[in-house]
Structure 1
Amino acid sequence: MKRIPDAVPGGRGRGFRVAADLAAGTALLLLEGAALALTVLALGFRRWGTDGSADLRAQDRLDLTQSTYVLGGLIAVAVLAAALAAWRRAAFTTGLQILAALALAVLLGQAHSHYDTRYPPPSPPRTGPACFSGSNDCP
């Protein structure tokens, strides 16, 4: 059986491809992390800059909507980068981007869960007669 050489004479070998793959995956992961950090920082500064008289429910809903767009965009970028990396057979970059997309999806789910527990839907209005303390005709 003939052994296939690791490197083509005059070309770049497997070690270079792995190093380039790892560098590209790390760079993409850092860029996505920086975009997320800037988003969180911008939302925090906007909240800090309000005078407190604004309706918190409306402000939180706006923040949730904007963070949903940003996190959704970052998830899309991570999935597209993972698909491109898989096409290019870059295993480290593919794995890192899949992990980043999963982590961002978890963050998005937690943000929506936090909003839903903080602001539950209003209870339905009462349709019966008013019930006063001491009266025995309460439903």
Structure 2
Amino acid sequence: MNQSVKEFLESARCARLKANDWKEELAMIESDMSGLRSAGVGGLGVQNNTRRDLSDTLILFERKREKAIAEIRAMAELQEQAEALIHSIQYGPWERILFHRYILGETWEKVSEKTYFSSWQAASRAARSALKKLAASKEWKRIQENRRGA
């Protein structure tokens, strides 16, 4: 996988949205599981075949729940790596631009407003300079090595 710094940070930007989707999915799964449990798995008055069907369904839900949790963790790890990369640049204006754009997922207009650049184009130009600096950084090389090994 030969990914550029920008592609990596864009994937981290999207990870925030994906993680939110997985969290919603997890909440629905847990709600459904709770409803099934209260419907009588192991309770009185439920026939054996129905109890087995409910147990099988709960097992399927548990697998979906585990997948959702794993995906949320993966998205969080990606964002942590992106934050470490951004902070490795050690130049405040560039860090703020990249943080607002790729970690918080803000539009270029919002980034320029929050980082006090005169326009979104100026913020975008500064980000391009920062991305070039990051591409040559030790932190980027470390991230690439770790991702190749994963």
Q: Taking structure 1 as the reference length, what is the TM-score of the superposition?
A: 0.44
Q: Larger RCO: Structure 1 or Structure 2 (Cα < 8 Å, ≥ 6 residues apart)?
A: 2
Q: Which has the higher helix share?
A: 2
